[in-house]
Amino acid sequence: MNLNNRSTKNRLKAVDFFCGGGGMSYGMQKAGINVLAGIDYEENCKDTYEANIGIGKFIQADVFDLKETVLQKTLGLQKNDDNLLLIGCSPCQFWSIINTDKKKSEKSKNLLVEFERFVKYFNPGYVVVENVPGVLRKKKESGLESFINWLEISGYKVHFEVHNTNDYGVPQNRKRFTLVANRIGETKIFPKKEDNKLVVKDVLGQQNGFNVIVAGTKDETEFQHSSPRISNLTLKRIQKVKKNGGNRLDFANDPDLQLTCFVGRDNSFKDTFGRLWWDRPSPTITTKFFSVSNGRFVHPDEDRALSLREGACLQSFPKDYKFIGTSHCAIARLIGNAVPPEYAKKIGQAIIKNHLNGII
C-alpha cells in the first residue's frame, strides 16, 4: 500500500481540553490530526485560538460544569470511537515546583480528575496528558495513579515519562510530564527524539529576522517584536552583565547596583538578570519571560528582556502565529503557558504512525 492510500486512512480527530492559546492544537494539526475543538475556561484565549486553529473551534467552558452529554451533542462525538483523541493539558500551578500561591491554584489540582471523567465516558482510541513533572512526583494526590490504573485495566497501552522538549525540536530546556495511552495496536506510543538539538542561535538573532531593538520598543505589527520598558537602574545592571550567558554576579560587587535581597546570597537565584547563551537552549519560557528579574530572560547581546516574538519562537511557535491580547502581559501568559507546538507535533506524528499500523 502506498503512502497516499495510507494517509487517507488517518481520520484521527481530537478535542483539546484546557487548550489555552492553541499550542497543542496547532502541533496536532501540523501532524495531520483534525482538531474538532479546544475547550478552556479563559475567554481571553478565544481570539488567539480561533485565529490560528479555526473560527468556531473554541468552546468556553468550565470543565467542572461541562457535562459529557453536552459535549457529545455539541461536537457530534461517539463513544468507543477508535479515531478519537482526547487531550488534557490542564493548568498545573498547584503541582509546580515553582513557588506559587497554592490557595489561588487549589482548584487546578482536581482538573486531571475532571478530564478523566470524559475519558471514561467516551473511551476514545487515544489519550494524551501533558503537565508539570510534579504530577508524577505526587501521582496519588494528583489523581494520576488512579487514572493510569483505570487506563491499563481498560485495555490501554500507557506510556508516561518526563520529557525535555529540547529533545523534540524545541530550542528550550522545558521538562514536562507526558502520558500517551492507546487501545489501538499492541505497542506503547512515545514521540521520536531529534538527533540534533536546537539552541538559541538557531531561532533568534538578526540572521533569523529579529532586528536589534531597545527596551521599551512596541511593535504594532503582528510580528510583535516588543520588549517592555525598564528603569534606568535596571538598564545599568543589565549593561554590567556579560554578553552571552552572564548573570547578576557581574554587578554584585557594585554597591550602587547590587540588590539588597541578594547581599550575602550569591548562590541564590543566580539566573535573575541573567542573559541567555547563543549556543545553548533557552531556560523554560514562563509567563514572566518578559521580565529580567524573573529569571534568565535577558537577550544574549542586547540590553533588554526577550521580546514577545522571541519568547514565542523559543516555544517553537512559527513567526506568523497570531497572538491576540489586551496587554503585553496577557500575550506573554498565552505564550508561556502553551505546550510547545513542535513537541505536540511529534506526539501527534507518533499517534498517527501507530494508528495507520493498527488499522492496516
Q: How confident is the model at residue 4 (pLDDT cuts 50, 70, 90)?
A: very low
Q: Is 0.85 surpassed by the pTM of this model?
A: yes
Catalytic position from the list 19, 45, 89, 92: 92
Residue-wise pLDDT for 146-186, tens only, equals 999 999 999 999 999 999 999 999 999 999 999 999 999 88
Rg (alpha carbons) of the chain, rounded to whole number:
21
DSSP E strand boundaries for 32-174: 34-40, 58-60, 84-88, 126-131, 157-164
Residue 75 pLDDT exceeds 80: yes
Question: 107 is written with which cell numbers?
Answer: 482548584
Residue-wise pLDDT for 237-273, tens only, equals 999 999 999 998 998 888 899 787 766 666 666 788 9
Question: CATH says 3-193+340-359 is which class?
Answer: alpha beta
Strand partners, 38: 16, 58
Residue 346 pLDDT exceeds 50: yes
Please give the Cα distance from 139 to 122 (Å, whole number): 23
* Residues in contact with 235: Cβ distance below 8 Å, sequence separation at least 6, in sequence order: 215, 303
Smallest Cα–Cα separation from 297: which of 312, 309, 282?
282
Residue 265 is predicted with a pLDDT of 65
Smallest Cα–Cα separation from 316: which of 215, 212, 189, 199?
199
Residue 174 is predicted with a pLDDT of 96
Residue 9 is predicted with a pLDDT of 67
Residue-wise pLDDT for 270-281, tens only, equals 788 999 999 999
Question: 230 is written with which cell numbers?
Answer: 525598564
Arithmetic mean of pLDDT, 85-97: 71
In the chain, where the domains are located: 3-193+340-359
The reply to whether 92 belongs to the active site is yes
* Residues recorded for the chain: 360
Residue 352 pLDDT exceeds 50: yes
DSSP E strand boundaries for the chain: 13-17, 34-40, 58-60, 84-88, 126-131, 157-164, 175-182
Arithmetic mean of pLDDT, 113-129: 97
Task: Indicate the burial class of 188 (C-beta count within 10 angstroms; 0-12, 13-18, 19 or more).
Answer: middle
Computed over every residue of the chain, the mean pLDDT equals 91
Residue-wise pLDDT for 285-312, tens only, equals 999 999 999 999 999 999 999 999 999 9
Smallest Cα–Cα separation from 317: which of 26, 20, 18, 15?
26
Q: Could you count the other beta carbons within 10 Å of the beta carbon of residue 67?
A: 12
Residue 8 pLDDT exceeds 60: no
- Using an 8 Å Cβ cutoff, are 28 and 89 in contact? no
